[in-house]
Chains A and B, each alone.
Chain A
Amino acid sequence: MIFEVRVKSKAETDAKGEALLAEIKKTLNIHSIGKIQSAKVYRLENIKKEDLIKFSKIALYEEIDQIATYNKPIFPKTAKVLEVAYKPGVMNPEVASILKVSNDLKIKIEACDSSWEYAFFGPVSKSQIEKITKRLLVNDTVETLVKQVPKTLKISGTAQKVQIIPIRSFNNQQLMDLSRDKLFLNLEEMKVIQSYFAKIKRDPTDCELETLALTWSEHCGHKTFRAKLTIDGKQKESFISRIKKTAKNNQKLIVSAFDDNSGVIDFYDGWAISGKVETHNSPSAIEPYGGAMTGSGGVFRDILGTGQGAKPVVSTDVFCFAPPDLAAKDLPPGCLPPEYLLRKVVYGVRDYGNRVGIPTNNGSIHFHQDFRAKPTVAVGSFGLIEKSKAKKGKPKLGNLILTLGGATGRDGIHGATFASGEMTDRTINVSGSAVQIGNAIEEKRLIDAILRLKEENLICAITDCGAGGYASAIGEMAKETGAEVYLDKVPLKYTNLAPWEIFLSESQERMVLAINPKDLKKVQKICETYNVPNNVIGKFTSNKKLIIYYQKQIVCNLSMDFLHDGLPQRKMIGKTKSKYQNNKIRKNSKPINIEKIWQKVMAHGNVCSKEPIVRMYDHNVQGTAALHPFSGQNFDGPNDGAVIRPILAKPYGLIITHGLNPQLNSIDPYLGSVWAIMEAVANFVSIGGNLKDAALVDNFIWPFPDEESLADLDKSVDACLDMANLLKMPFVSGKDSLSSTYRYPTGKVLKIPPVLLISVFGKIPDVSKTGSSDFKKVGSTIVLVGKGDFGNLGGSAYFDAIKSESSNIPKPDLSSATKVFSSITSGIKSSKILSCHDISEGGLATALAEMCFGGNCGAEISIKGFKYPDHQILFSETPGTFLVEVENEKAAKKLFAKVPNTILGKTIKSDTIIVKGSKTIKVSASSLKNSWQKPMKEVFNG
Chain B
Amino acid sequence: MVKPNVCILRSDGANCDEELYYAFEKFGAKPQLVHVNELRNKSKKLKNFQILALPGGFSYGDDIASGKVLAIELVSFLGEEIRNFVAKKGLVLGICNGFQTLVRTGLLPFNNFGKMDVTLAQNDSGHFECRWVKIKNEKSKCAFLNHKDPIDIAVNHGEGKFYADQKTIKKIEDENLVVFRYINSQGKPTQKYPENPNGSINAIAGVCDPTGRILGMMPHPEKFINITQHPNWRRQKFTKPHGAFIFEDLISYAKKN
List residues of A whose CB falls within 8 A of some B CB.
14-16, 18-19, 58-60, 62, 64-65, 93-94, 96-98, 100-101, 104-105, 350, 354-357, 439-441, 444-445, 448, 528-531, 614-626, 628, 630-633, 635, 645, 648-649, 767-768, 771-772, 774, 776, 941-942
Contacts and interface: CB of A to CB of B under 8 A. Distances in A.
A58 B74 CA distance: 13
A104 B38 contact: no
Given A65-B163, A441-B58, A105 B72 contact: yes
Contacts of B10: 448
Nearest to A768: B228
Contact of A444 (B12, B64, B165): B12
A776 B131 contact: no
B231 A628 contact: yes
B228 A626 contact: yes
Nearest to A97: B63
A152 B46 CA distance: 42
A100 B60 contact: yes
Nearest to A42: B64
Given A101-B69, A444-B12, A623-B222, A615 B57 contact: no
Interface string B56-71: 1110111111001100
B118 interface: yes
A104 B78 CA distance: 11
Given A623-B225, A631-B231, A354 B69 contact: no
Interface in B157-213: 163-165
14 contacts: A59-B64, A62-B116, A101-B69, A354-B128, A355-B58, A356-B15, A529-B38, A616-B129, A617-B130, A620-B223, A626-B228, A633-B232, A635-B132, A635-B232
Interface of B: 10, 12-13, 15-16, 18-19, 22, 25-26, 35, 37-38, 56-58, 60-65, 68-69, 72-73, 76-77, 116-119, 121-132, 154, 156, 163-165, 220, 222-223, 225-226, 228-229, 231-232, 234-235
Nearest to A17: B126
Chain B facing A: main interface SS: mixed
Given A530-B35, A616-B128, A617-B130, A105 B220 contact: no
Contact of B164 (A64, A445, A626, A767): A64
Contacts, number: 174
B92 to A, nearest CB: 21
Nearest to B164: A64
Contact of B130 (A441, A615, A768): A615
A225 to B, nearest CB: 36
Given A529-B38, A628-B231, A767-B228, A623 B19 contact: yes
B170 to A, nearest CB: 15
Given A97-B63, A444-B12, A631-B234, A59 B154 contact: no
A922 B123 CA distance: 40
A350 B128 contact: yes
Nearest to B227: A768
B131 to A, nearest CB: 6
A622 B225 CA distance: 12
A622 B226 CA distance: 12
B64 A101 contact: yes
B128 A104 contact: no
Contacts of B68: 59, 101
Contacts of B65: 62
A65 B122 CA distance: 11
B77 to A, nearest CB: 7
A143 to B, nearest CB: 18
B19 A776 contact: no
B195 to A, nearest CB: 12
Nearest to A942: B125
A645 B116 contact: no
A632 B232 contact: yes
Nearest to A643: B228
Given A18-B126, A771-B234, A618 B156 contact: yes
7 smallest A-B Cβ distances: which pairs?
A357-B15, A97-B63, A15-B126, A623-B19, A628-B231, A441-B61, A623-B223
Contacts of A942: 125
A528 B225 CA distance: 33
B171 to A, nearest CB: 14
Contact of A64 (B13, B19, B37, B165): B165
Given A354-B58, A620-B154, A648-B226, A65 B119 contact: yes
B76 A440 contact: no
B28 to A, nearest CB: 14
B75 to A, nearest CB: 9
A635 B231 contact: yes
B60 A441 contact: yes
B95 to A, nearest CB: 12
B235 A65 contact: no
Contacts of B61: 93-94, 97, 355, 439-441
B64 A635 contact: no
A620 B126 contact: no
Contacts of B119: 62, 64-65
Contact of A528 (B37, B76, B116, B164): B37
Contacts of A645: 226, 228
B237 to A, nearest CB: 12
A870 B69 CA distance: 62
Given A357-B16, A645-B228, A529 B37 contact: yes
Contact of B225 (A19, A448, A614, A648): A648
A626 B232 CA distance: 10
B156 A620 contact: yes
B127 A616 contact: yes
Contacts of A529: 35, 37-38
Contact of B131 (A97, A440, A615, A624): A615
Given A18-B126, A529-B37, A104 B232 contact: no
A648 B31 CA distance: 15
A354 B225 CA distance: 21
A633 B236 CA distance: 9
A64 B63 contact: no
B63 A632 contact: no
Nearest to B74: A104
B23 to A, nearest CB: 8
A776 B13 CA distance: 39
Given A625-B229, A774-B235, A19 B63 contact: no
A626 B229 contact: yes
A65 B228 contact: no
A617 B131 CA distance: 10
A101 B128 CA distance: 25
A223 to B, nearest CB: 39
A776 B225 CA distance: 23
A576 B222 CA distance: 57
Nearest to B76: A104
Contacts of A60: 64
A650 B125 CA distance: 36
Contacts of B37: 528-531
Given A64-B164, A97-B60, A15 B122 contact: yes
A575 to B, nearest CB: 49
Contact of A631 (B116, B127, B232): B232
Contacts of B77: 104
A28 to B, nearest CB: 19
Given A97-B61, A98-B64, A771-B234, A64 B126 contact: no
A891 B253 CA distance: 50
Given A439-B61, A614-B130, 17 more contacts: A15-B125, A19-B126, A100-B69, A101-B69, A354-B58, A440-B13, A440-B61, A441-B60, A444-B13, A617-B128, A620-B154, A623-B22, A623-B225, A631-B231, A645-B228, A649-B22, A941-B126
Contacts of B18: 622-623, 648
Contacts of B116: 62, 64
A37 B187 CA distance: 37
A217 B138 CA distance: 63
Contacts of B12: 441, 444-445, 448, 530-531
B15, B57, B125, B222, most chain A CB atoms within 10 A: B15
